[in-house]
Amino acid sequence: MAVTASGWETDQLPGGTVDAVVIGGGAAGLNGALMLARSRRSVVVIDSGTPRNAPADAVHGLLGLEGTAPAELLRRGREEVRRYGGLVVAGEVASAAPASASTPASASASASASAEGNDPRFTVTLADGGALTARRLLVATGLRDVLPDVRGLAEHWGHGVVHCPYCHGWEVRDESVGVLAVGPASVHHALLFRQLTDDLVYFSRGTELDGDTRARFAARGIRIVDAPLERVVTDRAGGIAGVRLADGHLVARRVLAVVTRMLARTDGLEGLGLPMEDFPGGMGRRFSAGPAGVTDVPGVWVAGNATDLTAQVGASAAAGALAGAHINADLAAADTEAALAAVRRDDSAA
């Protein structure tokens, strides 16, 4: 077993066809793999090693694991999957498609790629050239956050710059917080962070605030700054000192809260032809999925932030578990159909 540059162990790709490949090694992917492995399914997790919450110090709001470091949570998850025979492979997916398809798939194309009846096959190729074939896919690639274009903001992401009041709110309670507006969603954002601190400034950044919203902010003691921003200022200790306005004035802040634009990670998955949808107001883009993560492409499920952009770690893990259970049930049905067909062939040949 090799070791990645990040220090975690990676398995080797198996030969032959496996029951399921999970694309993404975060909470959703690992929990889905755990359910499959515990059902005695051959499952391989492909993990790019770039989790969304890598900059965070801890995972919060996860019962029984409150305050666990993200890297430690994933280490435990990989260990648990392997305990039941699952494999976790470090790598980037270069392409994934129905095994017989050379062009992007549709639901009907995926069905025509069946190896036998309703038991499709998919080819997953990694950036290093390795490849494997799977009967089912679970896409749990997560998302990437796009920050507002404000100079000096990105360097504080995950520390002085936060996005989720439930993920980070307790840790920034009673601090001087500034909300950098990006649109209507930022109004709700501000009201949530107001629950955590009395010292809140709303930087409107050219977004429109009607009279009713301004009155509500005033009633809650939220100060509005309509002046244009110039940059985020870093203090000598490396933290946030405040926000410099275009007129040169510094508004002192220790924490900045932003609503990011959230985009599902789609690299290498174009060949699956998975449907996608936009969030209102340009706030994000995700894979479309129905109950338990089922998609319009037979044999493919989606779970976690790739389809539920606002899910925290616990919700993503739960979604992965549910998708894994449904994949196992689908495989069980296909196994039964194949067994029945074999019996009928034998009977007819006798």
Residue 102 has pLDDT above 70, yes or no: no
The verdict on 109 and 171 lying in the same domain is no
Span 257-271, average pLDDT:
97
The verdict on 131 and 274 lying in the same domain is yes
User: What is the predicted pLDDT for the residue at 200?
Assistant: 98
Decide which of 216, 238, 258 is a domain's last residue.
Answer: 258
Provide, rounded to the nearest whole percent, the portion of the chain with pLDDT above 90: 85
Q: Is 222 exposed, middle or buried (0-12, 13-18, 19+ CB in 10 A)?
A: buried
The verdict on 54 and 137 lying in the same domain is yes
Classified as helix, coil or strand, 325 is helix
Classified as helix, coil or strand, 167 is helix
Rounded distance between C-alpha atoms, residue 298 and residue 113, angstroms? 10
User: What is the predicted pLDDT for the residue at 272?
Assistant: 97
Q: CA quadruple 179, 181, 182, 186: dihedral positive or negative? A: positive
Residue 46 has pLDDT above 80, yes or no: yes
User: What is the predicted pLDDT for the residue at 286?
Assistant: 97
Rounded distance between C-alpha atoms, residue 225 and residue 201, angstroms? 7
Number of domains in the chain: 2
The verdict on 267 and 133 lying in the same domain is yes
Q: What count of other Cβ atoms lies within 10 Å of the Cβ of residue 341? A: 12
The verdict on 129 and 272 lying in the same domain is yes
Residue 105 has pLDDT above 60, yes or no: no
- Write out the two tokens for 39: 């059902």
**Segment among 99-103, 216-220, 335-339 with least mean pLDDT:** 99-103
Residue 193 has pLDDT above 80, yes or no: yes
The verdict on 298 and 334 lying in the same domain is yes
Decide which of 258, 283, 303 is a domain's last residue.
Answer: 258
Helix (H) or strand (E) holding 9: strand 9-10
Strand partners, 119: 116
User: What is the predicted pLDDT for the residue at 324?
Assistant: 98
The answer for 186, left when phi > 0, alpha when psi is -120 to 50, beta otherwise, is: alpha
The verdict on 133 and 18 lying in the same domain is yes
Decide which of 236, 258, 280 is a domain's last residue.
Answer: 258
Q: How far apart are the first and last CA of the chain?
A: 48
Residue 222 pLDDT class (50, 70, 90 cuts): very high
Span 122-133, average pLDDT:
96
The verdict on 27 and 126 lying in the same domain is yes
The verdict on 43 and 23 lying in the same domain is yes
The verdict on 161 and 307 lying in the same domain is no
Give residue-wise pLDDT tens across range 134-191: 999 999 999 999 999 999 999 999 899 999 999 999 999 999 999 999 999 999 999 9
Residue 53 pLDDT class (50, 70, 90 cuts): confident
Residue 124 has pLDDT above 90, yes or no: yes
The verdict on 10 and 61 lying in the same domain is yes
User: What is the predicted pLDDT for the residue at 336?
Assistant: 95
Span 219-243, average pLDDT:
97
Residue 91 pLDDT class (50, 70, 90 cuts): very high
Rg of the chain, C-alpha, whole Å = 23
The verdict on 311 and 235 lying in the same domain is no
Span 107-115, average pLDDT:
36
Phi, psi of 133 (to 5 degrees): -110, 140
Q: Is 24 exposed, middle or buried (0-12, 13-18, 19+ CB in 10 A)?
A: buried
DSSP state of 240: E
The model's pTM is 0.91
Is residue 271 within 8 Å of 280, Cβ to Cβ? no
Give the structural domain span for 34. 2-144+261-349
Residue in the block written with tokens 């710059």 = 161
Q: What is the DSSP string of 125-136?
A: EETTS-EEEEEE
CATH number of the domain where residue 340 is located: 3.50.50.60
Strand partners, 126: 93
Is residue 29 within 8 Å of 77, Cβ to Cβ? no
What does the longest C-alpha to C-alpha distance in the chain come to?
A: 91
